[in-house]
Amino acid sequence: MKARLGLLFGLLAVGGLLTAGLWRYFTPAPVPAPVETKGEEKSRMESLSLTDIDKGVKRWKLSASRAEYSKNRDEITIHDIAVEFYGSGQEVVYIQAESGTVNPKGRDLTLRGDVRLTQGGLTIRTQQVRYLPREQALAAPEEVILESPRIRVSGKGLYIDLKGKRLILKEHRLTTVKLEKGLL
């Protein structure tokens, strides 16, 4: 009886091992846990001041109230911006904008949101301006309004050549001249 009982336990043990082996063989492997990838690395700044100098000539100076540097994209996102662009001679174009981006390597600069350019008595308003460093120019592809004390011009697609001191408006919409005592 003891022999039969030992044989029965032995068979049950072998059967259990065989069942466990078959179960493990036919059960799919668990899905591996996703590998944790590093998120976008960002550095936050309370304020930012940048100056672009090319061949000893100051091109622009930027100030922002806060900024985030994204190492993965090599881009700085900026907020509450004031920029001074320096043309040939002593001309300075002042720009204010709500937000924008700067590429530190390419020196590209894009400004967005209630963008205001001022120089002397001229004010230009638009929603986006991009600085083109190779051309030393500003491009405003969207709707623009140019205002001086006596003239208001609206259109689309403004190009400002800082080096050549000229404005090009690709699509003119409307020009309004303000008269003073009936005289031009």
Closest CA to 123 of 156, 93, 103: 93
> What per-residue confidence (pLDDT) applies to 86?
84
> How far is 95 from 151, CA to CA, in rounded Å?
20
pLDDT digits (tens, 9 = 90+) for 75-104: 889 999 999 988 777 788 899 999 999 987
- Residue 29 or 106, more confident: 106
> What per-residue confidence (pLDDT) applies to 38?
57
Whether residue 80 contacts residue 104, with contact meaning beta carbons closer than 8 Å, is answered with no
Domains within the chain, CATH numbers bracketed:
42-177 (2.60.450.10)
Whether residue 178 contacts residue 150, with contact meaning beta carbons closer than 8 Å, is answered with yes
Q: pTM (2 decimals)? A: 0.70
pLDDT digits (tens, 9 = 90+) for 12-39: 666 666 666 656 666 665 656 555 545 5
Whether residue 159 contacts residue 138, with contact meaning beta carbons closer than 8 Å, is answered with yes
